[in-house]
């Protein structure tokens, strides 16, 4: 398992360097560096705005006692997209940008949600007992001393 991680890491580095060299040969090194910085800043601001919008939708669904699973998976994909966009390099920027697209997020929701066993609980007090039921009791407060 350790060798697999090492092989994948070096493969990732090789792909990043190859893509950067190809882009730098096409547009120049300075412009390639500016593009990497610009995509990181633009991508992170996009993730922030979409993440806040998604958070509001999740809160609305939870307030209406609906299941926010789809929005939760979209939030995870946005978080992963933000992580990929913050890593310098064109390959990770492409992967991060793909995770920002709605069709990719819908595909992930369709593939992941059926595999998750989700139990929802309502937070109101009407779940287990009748609202007219009264429980009486006495208590005394004891000091810890």
Distance CA(108)–CA(93), nearest Å, equals 19
The pLDDT assigned to 97 comes to 85
Q: Give the closest residue to 44 by CA, choosing from 107, 88, 2.
A: 88
The pLDDT assigned to 23 comes to 93
Per-domain residue ranges of the chain: 2-115
pLDDT tens, N- to C-terminus, the chain (145 residues): 788 999 999 999 999 999 999 999 999 999 999 998 888 888 778 778 877 888 888 888 888 888 777 777 778 888 888 888 888 889 998 888 888 888 888 887 788 767 776 665 555 544 455 556 777 777 787 877 6
The pLDDT assigned to 8 comes to 92
The pLDDT assigned to 142 comes to 80
Radius of gyration of the chain (CA): 24
Q: Give the closest residue to 29 by CA, choosing from 17, 40, 41.
A: 17
């Amino acid at each position: 398992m350790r060798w697999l991680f090492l092989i994948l890491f070096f493969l990732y580095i090789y792909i990043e360097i190859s893509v950067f060299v190809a882009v730098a040969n096409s547009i120049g090194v300075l412009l390639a560096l500016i593009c990497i910085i610009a995509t990181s800043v633009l991508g992170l601001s996009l993730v922030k705005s979409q993440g806040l919008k998604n958070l509001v939708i999740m809160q609305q669904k939870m307030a209406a006692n609906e299941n926010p699973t789809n929005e939760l998976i979209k939030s995870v994909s946005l978080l992963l997209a933000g992580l990929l966009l913050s890593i310098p390099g064109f390959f990770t920027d492409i992967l991060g940008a793909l995770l920002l697209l709605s069709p990719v997020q819908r595909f992930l929701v369709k593939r992941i949600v059926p595999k998750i066993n989700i139990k929802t609980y309502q937070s109101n007090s009407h779940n287990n007992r009748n609202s007219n039921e009264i429980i009486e009791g006495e208590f005394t407060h004891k000091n810890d001393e």
